[in-house]
Amino acid sequence: MTQTSGSGGDEVVRLEVADGVATIRVDKPRMNALDADIQHRLGEAARACDARDDVAAVVITGGPQVFAAGADIKEMAGLDHAAMATRSARLQADFAAVARIGKPVVAAVNGYALGGGCELALCADARIAADDAVFGQPEIKLGLIPGAGGTQRLARLVGPARAKELIFTGRFVDAAEALALGLVDQVVPAAEVAERARAWAARFVGGPALALRAAKACVDTGLGLPLEVGLDLEQRQFAALFGTEDARAGTAAFVAKTEPRFTGR
């Protein structure tokens, strides 16, 4: 069964749910420029995915031709410091909502993922890219820096030296180099990106939702903590899971040598 949120086919951000997998799709011809409205709608869609019990995993995509070619520069050009201080806080909050979805999230990247588009892909847990995909953080060429998490998430993903080189130069990276850098996890033919991303997400349907949420929280939160504090977080999450029905079902199935049936409770 497929459920689509939104008022119609002209929605610039669509949330579709089918068989436990949600797809958040940006659809603003021609280049999926991420204006303030789209940024806000992405945040709303992310929060909905996080809250819905019928969503086990999430695919974020921009469609078969382009993922997102960055922020809407024309919209930003007339803003002063005070206006952008407010706008950028909202932008960070909406992208953070994507990163904080407590379920596995994969970005299906076709075509350009530049600026805010690259930053949106960085919010996912994994990235599957078309063999003709192009990534980049070209904000420096506008006298700016990434403002939707690029300086932080990119550095954590590929390391500070590589992130600095990409941000300092603003150069574009093709799919093969993105794979070598660790910026993406898989490179596949362009026609297969959507299918591969959905298959990646479908693996988690019927899985232990609370354990997946805890694992994601431990990894993501732990990256910003000293090791000892991160280990304490892991220990507390690990112990807490023993109070769940899923842990009891999983351990009982292991002992009985059967397949567990998880309920997300």
Which residues are registered as beta bridge partners of 26?
A: 13
Q: Are 21 and 202 in contact (CB under 8 A)?
A: yes
Residue 223 confidence (pLDDT): 92
- Extents of the domains making up the chain: 2-202, 209-256
Q: Report which DSSP code applies to 123.
A: T
Residue 71 confidence (pLDDT): 73
Q: Report which DSSP code applies to 115.
A: T
Residue 87 structure tokens: 């706008």
Q: Are 124 and 109 in contact (CB under 8 A)?
A: no
pLDDT tens-digit map of 38-61: 999 999 999 999 999 999 999 999
d(CA 193, CA 12): 21
Residue 73 confidence (pLDDT): 76
Could you tell me which residues come within 8 angstroms of residue 130 by beta carbon, excluding any fewer than 6 positions away? Answer: 109, 110, 111, 175, 187, 188, 189, 190, 193
Residue 77 confidence (pLDDT): 76
pLDDT tens-digit map of 123-137: 999 999 999 999 999
Better-scored residue on pLDDT, 30 or 168: 168
Q: Tell me: pLDDT of 32 over 90.
A: no
> Is 62 tagged catalytic?
no
Longest pairwise C-alpha distance within the chain: 66
d(CA 89, CA 33): 19
Burial 13-49 (b: 16+ CB within 10 A, else e): bbbbbeeebbbbbbebeebbbbbeebbbbbbbbbebb
For domain 2-202, the CATH class is: alpha beta
Smallest CA-to-CA distance from 53 within 218, 223, 240, 265 is with: 265
CATH fold for the domain made of 209-256:
Lyase 2-enoyl-coa Hydratase; Chain  A, domain 2 (1.10.12)
Q: How confident is the model at residue 2 (pLDDT cuts 50, 70, 90)?
A: very low
> Is 165 tagged catalytic?
no
Q: Tell me: pLDDT of 7 over 60.
A: no
Residue 2 DSSP SS3: strand
pLDDT tens-digit map of 68-88: 987 777 777 777 788 888 878
> Is 139 tagged catalytic?
yes
Residue 8 confidence (pLDDT): 41
Catalytic residue among 129, 139, 147, 207: 139
> Is 85 tagged catalytic?
no
Q: Tell me: pLDDT of 195 over 70.
A: yes
Cα dihedral angle (42, 45, 51, 54), rounded to 10 degrees?
Answer: -140
Residue 10 confidence (pLDDT): 60
Q: Tell me: pLDDT of 252 over 80.
A: yes
Q: Are 98 and 43 in contact (CB under 8 A)?
A: yes
d(CA 261, CA 20): 15
Sign of CA dihedral 167, 171, 177, 183: positive
Q: Tell me: pLDDT of 122 over 70.
A: yes
Q: Tell me: pLDDT of 234 over 50.
A: yes
Better-scored residue on pLDDT, 5 or 250: 250
- Please give the share of the chain, as a percent, with pLDDT higher than 90: 81
pLDDT tens-digit map of 216-227: 999 999 999 999
Catalytic residue among 116, 136, 147, 149: 116
Catalytic residue among 119, 130, 148, 250: 119
d(CA 139, CA 146): 6
Q: Are 154 and 99 in contact (CB under 8 A)?
A: no
Q: Token match 């960055």: residue? A: 70
Catalytic residue among 71, 133, 175, 209: 71
Q: Report which DSSP code applies to 38.
A: H
Least confident span in 54-63, 65-74, 112-121? 65-74
Residue 25 confidence (pLDDT): 96
Which residues are registered as beta bridge partners of 114?
A: 136
Residue 1 confidence (pLDDT): 37
